[in-house]
Amino acid sequence: MFWDFQWTFEVLPDLLRGLGVTIQVTVVGYLIALILGLLIAIVRRIPIFGSVLHAVMEFIRTTPLIIQLVFVFLLAPSTVSGLTVGIIVIGVHYSAYTAEVYRSGIEGVAKGQWEAARALSLPGRRTWGAIVLPQAIRKVIPALGNYLIAMFKDTPLLLAIGVTELLTEAQRVGSASFRIVEAYTAVGLLFLLVSVPSAILIRRLERRYAAV
């Protein structure tokens, strides 16, 4: 038979376990990218750090993620798992992109808002926390959401460092039973099952915040 439904249902728990790892990498890595990207965007406004951080971020953006994964994995201590390396590297990699998104949002805050904060003698922490960031982040939520989907689709690259995520699990069970078509098709369907609802949510966010 071209398609073995019984085999597909038998290996589905294995594939779902791999999907769980994929989602874990995506969620934790995305949180790292959001937090680190915001810190980078703020620190880059300090002249003494701006040019150095810009160079580092450009290096990260212009080198392949898979090379970064393998390089860090080979240099990491043996006690650090491939999963940990994968989460950290993918989070730092995407922080280089989220930092640019935050930067555009911060620069989009009207100059008068900054001047009003200075006129009221507001401390820097309150200026950023109560005036600048609420406006900047609100404007860039849809763009940040797009990187969540991009990160989810990049998780199969963790195969290079031995992380058993969804694609690796499919490759294992498919090769063992010579049912590659079923295994890879199931992977595609599971990816769609997660990414399509995420894309719909992001589109709704775009419509909601388009006029902000």
| Share above pLDDT 70 across residues of the chain, in percent, rounded to a whole number | 96
pLDDT at position 115 over 80: no
Does residue 35 register a pLDDT over 90? Answer: yes
Mean pLDDT of the chain: 85
Hey, where are the domains in the chain?
10-209
Q: What is the band of 2 on the pLDDT scale with cuts at 50, 70, 90?
A: low
What burial class does residue 201 get, using C-beta atoms within 10 Å of its C-beta: 0-12 exposed, 13-18 middle, 19+ buried?
middle
CA separation for the pair 205, 44 (Å, rounded): 27
Rounded CA-CA distance 156/139 in Å is 30
pLDDT in tens, 50-94: 788 888 999 999 999 999 999 999 999 988 999 999 999 999 999
What are 128-177's pLDDT values in tens digits? 777 787 888 888 888 888 899 899 989 989 988 888 788 888 888 877 77
Query: How distant is the alpha carbon of residue 99 from its chain centre?
Result: 12
Q: How confident is the model at residue 42 (pLDDT cuts 50, 70, 90)?
A: confident
Q: Which two tokens stand for residue 194?
A: 């997660």
Residues 6+ apart with CB under 8 A from 139: 105, 108, 209, 212
- Smallest CA-to-CA distance from 57 within 37, 71, 73 is with 37
Class of the domain covering 10-209: mainly alpha
pLDDT of residue 108: 79
Structure tokens at 102: 């935050």
